[in-house]
């Protein structure tokens, strides 16, 4: 992993503890741009998903991590953006496949669905797994609809 790659991370109120934990555990290994809300008071998850995706599309960061209660809402909001391939994952196989075959650039996690230490391992795996390209690229090209 190139230490110069920036990762935007954000969450809503239901994902704040996990997001803060991931940053704490991995901030020496990866460069996070923390876009988390300032407190755990209720916020609207799409606002935070949009900010992460905007940062990717502007070229400010290469990857995004989004966390809410289930990970589902964040993935739905993120996937509304052009050039975003957000994957809500729950295990290592899903992380590996979404990077190798789908070139996902946003990882979505559910704080209520996964152990915090397993989540840290999934983030590491996501950021360290490379896209295979080749036959998979033509499929990625078919995702975007103008």
Q: Which amino acids are annotated catalytic? A: 68, 101
H-helix or E-strand spanning residue 6:
strand 6-11
Give the DSSP per-residue string, 68-137. Answer: ESSSHHHHHHHTTSTT--EEE--SHHHHHHHHHTT---EEEEETTTS-HHHHHHHHHHHHHPPP--THHH
Instruction: Name the residue with tokens 């290592």.
Output: 92
H or E segment to which residue 65 belongs: strand 63-68
């Amino acid at each position: 992993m190139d230490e110069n790659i920036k990762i935007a991370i954000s969450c809503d109120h239901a994902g704040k503890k996990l997001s803060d934990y991931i940053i704490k555990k991995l901030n020496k290994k990866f460069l996070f741009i923390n876009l988390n809300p300032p407190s755990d008071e209720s916020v609207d998850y799409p606002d935070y998903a949009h900010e992460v995706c905007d940062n990717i599309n502007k070229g400010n960061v290469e990857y995004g991590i989004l966390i809410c209660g289930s990970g589902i809402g964040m993935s739905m909001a993120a996937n509304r953006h052009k050039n975003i391939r957000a994957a809500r994952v729950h295990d290592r196989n899903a992380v590996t496949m979404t990077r190798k075959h789908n070139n996902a650039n946003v990882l979505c996690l559910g704080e209520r669905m996964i152990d915090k230490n397993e989540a840290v391992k999934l983030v590491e795996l996501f950021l360290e797994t490379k896209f295979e390209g080749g036959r998979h690229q033509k499929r990625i090209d078919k995702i975007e609809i103008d």
